[in-house]
Structures are given as C-alpha cells and as structure tokens.
C-alpha cells in the first residue's frame, strides 16, 4: 500500500461531502461567496460573523504555540506587495507555473499533474475521452501596477507566497532583536495565486492566508531542526482534530519538489477529496538568502559571535494554510446524529475543539417572561462576555436552542432556571456528550475558562 492509499475501516465515520460544509457555512454565517450579488468570483471568499471568530482563534492558537511559547522564535507582519525583483530572485517569475492541457472536444481544462498517468500517456480527456491539446505553461503570480502615470507605472506582483517577507526582513529582525542562530521568524499573511483551477470551496483559492515559520540554522544542524519542526507540526495538527487516523506524512518524490526545496514532507489530511496537503515541511537549504543576496547585492550572511564563522544560514520552512485549516477542521468536526427515539429531533453537531470554536458559551434563560430569570441570565452573559465569546439566546424552546448551538460547535450551554433563583446554581451542558452538571454561578467563569482557553 502506498502512503496515499487508504484502507477503509469497519464502522468508520463517513467522510463529509464538501457541499454539507458549504451549506452550513452560508446558513450560519461562517463563509460567504465574495461579491455574491454580482455573481461571485471563482476562488475568492468572505468570512462571516462566526467564520471570523473561528479564524481568529485558529490564528491566535498557531501564533501562541509557534511564537509566544518559543524563546527562539519571533514574528513579523509584512506587506502584500514587494519590489518586483523579489519574485525574480525567488524563482517564481521563472518557475511558478502550472502546466495545462485543454480537451479539444468538451473544452475542459486540466492541470497535467492532476490527470491520471494513463490519460497523460494516451493524451486523452478523463471526462469525455477527447483529444488533449499540447501542454502550455501558465504563471500563477498575480500582477499589479504601482503608480498612476501611464508609462511610469511599475509592474509588480501580489505576493505568491507569504514567506518572502521573512527573507527580506531577516537581516533587520536578526539585528534589531539580537537573535542568534538557530532562530525562527513567523508570519501569518495573505497570498495570491492565479490558480487556473480554483475549487473545492476554501481548499484551492486565489486569495488565501498562509502561516509560515522560517527557521534559520547552521548547515550542520539542519537535519536536527528539520526533524524537530516536522514532528512538532504533526503533533500540533493531531491536537486539534477528532479523526487522528486521517493525518499522515507524505514525502515528496524528486520529480515533484518545488524549485527551492531539497527535501519536503507534506502533512496530509484525508477528506472526500482524498489525501491532500495541509502543510508542507520544506528543506530550503540556503536557496532563499543566497538568491536575495545575489539579486539585491546585500550580503545576508551571518557571523557566529563565538566562532566568527561566516555563512549563509540554511532554512527549515513549515508552511500551512489558515483557510485549509478552517475547512479541514469543519470537515473533521461535522456530524449528523439521527434522533435515537426516531422523533423529529436529529442533531447536526460540530465537534470543534473548544479552543477553536467560534462561540464558547451560550447563556439560555429557561423562560423569557420571568423577570428574575432573565435578569440573572443577562448578568451572567455580560460577565462571561468580558472573557470569551458568549451568546445570549431566549428564542424558542430550550431543545431548539441547544440544537442551534450544537450546529455551530458551541462547547457549553448554561441554562438559568427556577432553581437558580433559589440556590444560585446553573445547569452546564456539554456539547458532545450532552451531559449536564449543576454548578454554582460563582464557579462558572473559572470552569469555562479552564476548558476553552489553550494551554
């Protein structure tokens, strides 16, 4: 069995069709098609009220675990536009291409590396069997122009990969922060690619967000740090998913390595799309700093303060996608549970990690026409809001309110009832088990914070 094949297990939870996630995202305000009222733009999306909360949680958790908890890692936030020479030095102007073929009969377009090998060999369309055109190269960089005067305008590019800013700022960061090798620089930022075949919702977009670590090392320590970050990133993804068996490594063959990589492993996750890349761990060696030294004329070598050895640092890169994480987490978390009583009470639940769920707690007064219950519920909600995203909901019966929260992945619901008025306790219901406990109001805040905050 090769690494990309999967042997189905009995009783395995079925893989979730992407359409279910698209529909939930639109219905509940996670993600909307961009410019929808004008018919939309392929491969570009906007995030709605719940989407932006979840996205911020994902970003913050990454930043916390990569930057804040590592003494030898710092962060930057670079611009989306850089000097055009950057993309010549990086190799993207020359090499960042998709090779495409069109079907002469049905006019469909395919990336040649996405076609089954037999179709490439036989030059045959996988859909209608028609003849394919000669392969053609398309550069993925998105062009833009700086300046307003015709003739004086400078052609440049929206960044095709976010990490380039890190190499550009490497020297400034190293000197201003007095970092010594080995050390890393992190960034979360947008990247733009003229993907010829965008699709599968957030999986392949034209505007998307990447998170990168570039870790600078002495060549003799490259293997050690490559192994360290490879394992660290794998464990990071394992810690936030339910289906641990759907995550694995795949090593790139020599014929598929990116132009800058000497060695690469993808962390892949299995969905209805099959095993697909979630994050890449790349052995970039001295490619980036050497090229930028050469193209800019600035010496980007490093002098070891102790040995005085002068060298171009080698780089371990871990590069993943915020949007792909968002999509994979929803696919991993989504479950439709039929009502065991056979009544009209099925539930859709998102088993999102409490750290990443967009809403942490819902505060629900059992009755909305009982003044003391309502005022107690509102005061609990107002207090919790200072520490976490809390929703107050008094519409419809309690069962329906639970279902609404389950569908958006809210890990805890707090119900205020008549007993609350007598003994100052509330009911806390946990999303996945649906179990309930009774807790004094005075302990509620700490109980929730313990469970919804990463550590």
The residues with which 426 forms a beta bridge, in sequence order, are: 439
Enter the tokens of residue 161: 């990969």
How many Cβ atoms sit within 10 Å of the Cβ of residue 32? 15
Residue 161: CB minimum distance to ligand GAP, A? 4
Torsion, Cα of 64, 65, 68, 70 (10° steps): 180
CA distance 379 to 424: 13
Establish if 205 lies at the interface with ligand GAP (CB under 6 A).
yes
**Among 195, 268, 286, 406, interactor with ligand GAP by CB under 6 A:** 195
Provide the mask over 262-301, with x wherever binding to ligand GAP is found by CB under 6 A and - wherever it is not.
---------------xxxx---------------------
**Among 28, 159, 204, 246, interactor with ligand GAP by CB under 6 A:** 204
Contacts of 152 (CB under 8 A, 6+ apart): none
DSSP, res 131: B
Establish if 320 lies at the interface with ligand GAP (CB under 6 A).
yes
Establish if 241 lies at the interface with ligand GAP (CB under 6 A).
no
The residues with which 362 forms a beta bridge, in sequence order, are: 391, 413
CA distance 225 to 220: 10
> Which residue stretches of 64-221 are H helix?
85-89, 92-95, 117-122, 164-176
Name the segment binding ligand GAP (CB under 6 A); options: 16-24, 115-123, 312-320, 411-419: 312-320
> Of 55 and 401, which has the nearer Cβ to ligand GAP?
55
Assign 391 to helix, strand or coil: strand
- DSSP per position, 69-105: T-TTEEE----SB--THHHHHTTHHHH-EEEEEEBTT
Residue 280: CB minimum distance to ligand GAP, A? 4
Element (H, E) at 21: helix 18-28
Residue 319: CB minimum distance to ligand GAP, A? 4
**Among 28, 92, 291, 324, interactor with ligand GAP by CB under 6 A:** 324
**How many residues bind ligand GAP, per CB under 6 A?**
19
**Among 182, 321, 354, 358, interactor with ligand GAP by CB under 6 A:** 321
CA distance 217 to 283: 11
Element (H, E) at 379: helix 371-385
Establish if 193 lies at the interface with ligand GAP (CB under 6 A).
yes
Residue 452: CB minimum distance to ligand GAP, A? 26
Q: Which of 70, 233, 78 is nearest to 167 (CA)?
A: 78
Long-range residue pairs from 23-32, CB within 8 A, at least 24 positions apart, any chain: 24/330, 24/334, 24/348, 24/407, 25/51, 25/330, 28/407, 28/408, 30/54, 30/330, 30/358, 31/201, 31/202
Q: Which residue is nearest to ligand GAP (CB)?
A: 321
Provide the mask over 121-160, with x wherever binding to ligand GAP is found by CB under 6 A and - wherever it is not.
----------------------------------------
Residue 201: CB minimum distance to ligand GAP, A? 10
* Antiparallel, parallel or unpaired: β 73-75 and 183-192: parallel
> Of 249 and 418, which has the nearer Cβ to ligand GAP?
249
Establish if 163 lies at the interface with ligand GAP (CB under 6 A).
yes
> Which residue stretches of 200-321 are H helix?
222-238, 287-296
**Among 53, 161, 268, 417, interactor with ligand GAP by CB under 6 A:** 161
Residue 214: CB minimum distance to ligand GAP, A? 9
Establish if 208 lies at the interface with ligand GAP (CB under 6 A).
yes
Inter-CA distances, 68 with 63, 97, 184, Å: 7, 36, 12
Residue 274: CB minimum distance to ligand GAP, A? 15
Name the segment binding ligand GAP (CB under 6 A); options: 6-14, 63-71, 230-238, 315-323: 315-323
Residue 53: CB minimum distance to ligand GAP, A? 20
Residue 206: CB minimum distance to ligand GAP, A? 7
> Of 90 and 390, which has the nearer Cβ to ligand GAP?
90
> Of 184 and 321, which has the nearer Cβ to ligand GAP?
321
Residue 291: CB minimum distance to ligand GAP, A? 14
Name the segment binding ligand GAP (CB under 6 A); options: 74-82, 116-124, 206-214, 233-241: 206-214
Q: Which residue has the tokens 């389950």?
A: 406
Q: Enumerate binding residues for ligand GAP (CB under 6 A).
A: 161, 163, 193, 195, 204-205, 208, 210, 212, 277-280, 317, 319-321, 323-324
């Amino acid at each position: 069995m090769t690494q990309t094949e999967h042997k189905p297990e009995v009783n395995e939870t079925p893989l979730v069709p992407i359409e279910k996630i698209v529909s939930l995202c639109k219905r509940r305000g996670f993600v909307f098609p961009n410019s929808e009222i004008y018919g939309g733009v392929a491969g570009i999306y906007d995030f709605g009220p719940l989407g932006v909360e979840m996205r911020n949680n994902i970003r913050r958790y990454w930043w916390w675990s990569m930057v804040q908890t590592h003494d030898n890692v710092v962060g930057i936030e670079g611009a989306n536009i850089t000097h055009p020479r950057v993309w010549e030095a990086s190799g993207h102007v020359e090499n960042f291409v998709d090779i495409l073929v069109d079907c002469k009969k049905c006019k469909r377009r395919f990336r040649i590396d996405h076609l089954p090998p037999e179709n490439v060999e036989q030059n045959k369309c996988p859909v209608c069997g028609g003849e394919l055109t000669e392969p053609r190269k398309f550069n993925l960089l998105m062009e833009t122009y700086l300046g307003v005067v015709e003739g004086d305008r400078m052609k440049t590019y929206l960044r095709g990969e976010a990490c380039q800013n890190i190499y550009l700022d490497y020297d400034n960061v190293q000197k201003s922060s007095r970092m010594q090798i080995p050390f890393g620089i992190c960034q979360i930022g947008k990247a733009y690619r003229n993907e010829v075949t965008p699709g599968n919702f957030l999986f392949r977009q034209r505007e998307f967000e990447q998170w990168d670590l570039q870790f600078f090392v002495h060549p003799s320590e490259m293997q050690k740090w490559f192994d360290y970050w490879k394992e660290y990133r794998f464990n990071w993804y394992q810690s936030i998913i339910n289906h641990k068996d759907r995550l694995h490594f795949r090593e790139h063959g020599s014929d598929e390595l990116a132009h800058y990589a000497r060695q690469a492993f993808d962390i892949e996750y299995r969905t209805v799309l099959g095993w697909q890349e979630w994050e890449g761990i790349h052995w970039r060696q001295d490619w980036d700093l050497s090229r930028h030294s050469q193209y800019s004329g600035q010496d980007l070598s490093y002098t070891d303060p102790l040995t005085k050895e002068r060298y171009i640092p080698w780089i371990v890169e871990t590069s993943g996608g915020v949007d792909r994480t968002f999509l994979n987490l929803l696919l991993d978390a989504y479950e439709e549970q039929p009502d065991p009583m056979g009544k009209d009470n099925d539930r859709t639940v998102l088993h999102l990690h409490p750290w990443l769920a967009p809403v942490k707690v819902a505060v629900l007064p059992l009755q909305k026409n009982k003044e003391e219950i309502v005022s107690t519920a509102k005061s609990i909600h107002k207090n919790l809001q200072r520490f976490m995203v809390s929703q107050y909901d008094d519409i419809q019966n309690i069962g329906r309110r639970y279902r609404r929260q389950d569908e958006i992945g809210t890990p805890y619901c707090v119900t205020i009832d008549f007993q609350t008025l007598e003994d100052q306790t509330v009911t806390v219901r946990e999303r996945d088990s649906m179990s309930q406990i009774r807790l004094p109001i005075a302990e509620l805040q700490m109980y929730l914070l313990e469970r919804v905050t990463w550590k």
